[in-house]
């Protein structure tokens, strides 16, 4: 088990409805040293890949992305969730369905902060069905920028987001892939990674 898998086993709580609660270190209280180790690991996995910007989505992605960005020496842009769609043409927009809240949000990024020369690493906390990632990829495409790679802390491998994103040809690096989890026993099984 790697450092993140160990932490998930120690502090993660499996909830009904395929939800893994990790709010003691990733989603509410934030373990910045852990984020730093995640940054070291992604810097290794994306070594040699051209990256000049990190894109994430509010809220949980921001803290992780900021710490990770120090290992890449690049700025972080986060997609904002917006109730009203700004149609003045100054924003890239995408619709994202929230897995945890079961509602739809429009996410926006100002055209000022993403352009065709950008080589973007997407960072997020979880990958479930892949809606959040598809929204971020759409925004990068609208900007004419390119996706250099995707770093996810926890992928729920029993949901189809990871397969969809890998089939699209993206370099997706999830630090922990949960293949199954059981709310009644609390047992979590991880996919073997080399």
Site membership for ligand 5GP, residue 124 (CB under 6 A): yes
* Residues 51-80 interacting with ligand 5GP (rule: CB under 6 A): 60
Q: Please, what is the angle between helix 32-45 and helix 3-11, to 10°?
A: 150
Query: Which CB, 17 or 73, lies closer to ligand 5GP?
Result: 17
Site membership for ligand 5GP, residue 128 (CB under 6 A): yes
Which span (4-12, 103-111, 122-130, 184-192) binds ligand 5GP, by CB under 6 A? 122-130
Query: Which CB, 128 or 145, lies closer to ligand 5GP?
Result: 128
Question: Are the CB atoms for 141 and 122 separated by under 8 Å?
Answer: no
Going 95 to 133 to 131 to 103, the CA torsion angle's sign is negative
What is the spatial distance between Cα 148 and Cα 131, in angstroms, rounded to a whole number? 19
Query: Which CB, 129 or 138, lies closer to ligand 5GP?
Result: 129
Query: Which CB, 25 or 46, lies closer to ligand 5GP?
Result: 25
What is the spatial distance between Cα 32 and Cα 154, in angstroms, rounded to a whole number? 16
Which span (48-56, 82-90, 114-122, 126-134) binds ligand 5GP, by CB under 6 A? 126-134
* Residues 9-38 interacting with ligand 5GP (rule: CB under 6 A): 19-22, 27
Q: What is the DSSP string of 105-156?
A: EEEEEEGGG--TT-EEEEEEEEESSSHHHHHHHHHHHHHT-EEEEEEEEEEE
Which residues bind to ligand 5GP, rule: CB under 6 A? 19-22, 27, 60, 99-100, 124-132, 156, 161
């Amino acid at each position: 088990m790697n450092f993140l898998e160990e932490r998930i086993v120690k502090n993660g709580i499996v909830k009904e409805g395929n939800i893994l609660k990790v709010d003691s270190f990733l989603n509410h209280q934030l373990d910045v040293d852990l984020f730093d180790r995640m940054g070291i690991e992604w810097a290794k996995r994306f070594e040699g890949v051209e990256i000049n910007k990190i894109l994430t989505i509010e809220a949980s992605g921001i803290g992780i992305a900021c710490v990770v960005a120090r290992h890449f020496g690049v700025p972080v842009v986060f997609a904002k969730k917006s109730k009203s769609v700004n149609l003045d043409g100054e924003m890239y927009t995408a619709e994202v369905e929230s897995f945890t809240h079961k509602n739809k949000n429009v996410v926006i990024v100002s055209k000022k902060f993403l352009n065709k020369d950008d080589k973007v690493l997407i960072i997020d906390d979880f990958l479930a069905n892949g809606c959040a990632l598809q929204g971020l990829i759409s925004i990068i495409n609208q900007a004419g920028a390119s996706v250099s790679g995707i770093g996810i802390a926890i992928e729920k491998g029993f949901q189809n987001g990871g397969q969809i994103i890998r089939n699209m040809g993206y370099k997706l690096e999830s630090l922990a892939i949960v293949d199954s989890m059981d709310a009644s026993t609390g047992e979590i099984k991880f996919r073997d990674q080399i």
